[in-house]
Amino acid sequence: MVCKNCGAFLSDDLKDCPVCGAIIGEESEGTVENKAFISPDANEDVDAKPKKKKSPMVLITVLLSVLLVLAIGICILLTVDGVSDKVKGFFTDVFSSSDVGKKNKPDDVVAEFMGEKLTNTKLNYYYYDVYETFYSMYGDQLEAVIAYVLNEGETMQDFLVECAINEWANTVALTQKAKKDNFTLSDDVLAEIDSIMQIMTESAISSGYSTADAFIKTLYGDFSTAATYVEHYEETTYAYMYKMDFFNEKYYDYMDDLEGLETYNYSVRHILIAPTDTSSDADWKEAEDEANKLYQEWLDGDATEDSFGALAYEHSADTGSAMYGGLYEDVYDGYMTTTFNDWCMDGRRVHGDTGIVKTEYGYHIMYFVSFVNPNAYDSASSDLSTWINAAKSGATPTTNLDKVTINNIQK
């Protein structure tokens, strides 16, 4: 299933979305894969529910980057020369139905929840953030995915407004709970938040805008300002990090619980040394020699998981995992290509096992992390869903949709 509120992929038996807390109705099913070394069999049925869940630790890092990079990067994408007609056309199709003719104001209240008010200014931030989240997940398939879950008579804008209001309500509930729990953001996250205004100002100037305000309006519309965007970024990051602290604690507790299990998932690090030309025997030999040399370098050094991750970050041709130290977490049996998978699923594997495996992609220097409870993600997700709903105390936002104005970002 696909959660209509946040776009997360869900198991069929879940009643609540573990990512955003929404109550699940009859939604579409689907999977989007973007990973090297996947077994061809793993993608035979593109409409089957996914068995591989993206690592929550990866999600934390990615979201913090996505919130900032999308906010800055997509604006540049829409304004620089050379942006594809297809992308520009898609934005026009999605957003041209804005309520231009209405005389609603930025401060008009469109929803209330737990003592907080959602204005049109804030709504536009959540609206376009929701869109960017969906687009980052589905890409060119987004229109088809959303069309599939629309109710009769519902437009894409109606759908995105509903999602935005629900996401705002979740943020309100989690923020209030986090403050009661005296939750604080790390110094690194606070530093990232503090840097946003400077980044926007520099990006505005380099993109030909006179101010950060003019720059941010190209992303969120005429109601937005650089100052109110920073406020939005800070409040959503605060709620998200609080949520993920809870989820990660549950998730990793479940991951390590292997008692009574007959099947396992696994976590592994790897460094891919790929031949320049897979049809060249000489390139394969060169890749093999390089893999052996790098492996020996690691063995002669600290030979720890941390040092392995550092080498993966520097040398691995698998850029998707290299930025996480070559780590793939919670991988199900059969997901990776055969020789990679068979090495990992050897029942004798223990933490710290290493070796070199050859696949059709190159030579993989392997570091086995652990076997994993395959139910960890769903179990932690169920706990998170219950926790979010408890934070909301069964309440739902009251809305005044006649006051809604979604600004058109297409200039």
Name residues whose C-beta falls within 8 Å of residue 9's C-beta, 6 or more positions apart in sequence.
1, 2, 3, 30, 31, 49, 50
Dihedral-angle region of residue 288 (phi above 0 means left; psi in -120 to 50 means alpha; beta otherwise): alpha
**pLDDT at residue 363, as a whole number:** 98
- List pLDDT tens digits, range 311-334: 999 999 999 999 999 999 999 999
Q: Strand 109-113 relative to strand 354-359: parallel, antiparallel, unpaired?
A: unpaired
Name residues whose C-beta falls within 8 Å of residue 319's C-beta, 6 or more positions apart in sequence.
none
Specify the higher pLDDT residue, 35 or 342: 342
Q: How confident is residue 102, by pLDDT bands cut at 50, 70 and 90?
A: low
Length of the chain in residues, anyone? 411
**pLDDT at residue 140, as a whole number:** 86
Average confidence (pLDDT) over 82-105: 45
β-partners of residue 336 are 38
Specify the higher pLDDT residue, 211 or 36: 211
**pLDDT at residue 151, as a whole number:** 87
Name, of 41-50, 78-87, 360-369, the range with top average pLDDT: 360-369
Under 8 Å between Cβ of 118 and 112: yes
Average confidence (pLDDT) over 180-188: 96
**pLDDT at residue 147, as a whole number:** 87
Under 8 Å between Cβ of 47 and 29: yes
**pLDDT at residue 98, as a whole number:** 45
Asked whether residue 308 carries a pLDDT value surpassing 80, the answer given is yes
Determine the straight-line distance between the first and last CA of the chain, rounded to whole angstroms.
Answer: 36
- List pLDDT tens digits, range 332-353: 999 999 999 999 999 889 999 9
Q: How confident is residue 101, by pLDDT bands cut at 50, 70 and 90?
A: very low
Asked whether residue 391 carries a pLDDT value surpassing 50, the answer given is yes
Average confidence (pLDDT) over 218-237: 93
Angle at 101 between CA 99 and CA 102, to 5 degrees: 70
Specify the higher pLDDT residue, 22 or 190: 190
- List pLDDT tens digits, range 127-179: 999 998 888 888 888 888 888 888 888 988 899 999 999 999 999 999 999 99
**pLDDT at residue 156, as a whole number:** 87
Asked whether residue 212 carries a pLDDT value surpassing 90, the answer given is yes
Asked whether residue 379 carries a pLDDT value surpassing 80, the answer given is yes
Q: Can you tell me the distance from the alpha carbon of 10 to that of 124, in angstroms, rounded to the nearest whole number? A: 27
Q: Can you tell me the distance from the alpha carbon of 232 to that of 349, in angstroms, rounded to the nearest whole number? A: 46
**pLDDT at residue 37, as a whole number:** 55
| Residue 29: burial class (beta carbons within 10 Å; 0-12, 13-18, 19+) | middle
β-partners of residue 273 are 363
Q: Strand 109-113 relative to strand 398-399: parallel, antiparallel, unpaired?
A: antiparallel
**pLDDT at residue 80, as a whole number:** 32
Q: Can you tell me the distance from the alpha carbon of 200 to that of 220, in angstroms, rounded to the nearest whole number? A: 13
* Domains delineated in the chain: 40-254+381-403 (no CATH), 265-372 (3.10.50.40)
Q: Is 28 helix (H, G, I), strand (E, B) or coil?
A: coil
> Across the chain, what does the average pLDDT equal?
80
Asked whether residue 223 carries a pLDDT value surpassing 60, the answer given is yes
**pLDDT at residue 143, as a whole number:** 84
**pLDDT at residue 27, as a whole number:** 36
**pLDDT at residue 34, as a whole number:** 32
**pLDDT at residue 400, as a whole number:** 95
> What is the DSSP code string of 211-273?
SHHHHHHHHH-TT--HHHHHHHHHHHHHHHHHHHHHHHHHHHHHHT--TT-S--EEEEEEEEE
Under 8 Å between Cβ of 236 and 171: yes
Query: In 3D, which of 4, 132, 124 has the Cα closest to residue 67?
Result: 132
Q: How confident is residue 214, by pLDDT bands cut at 50, 70 and 90?
A: very high
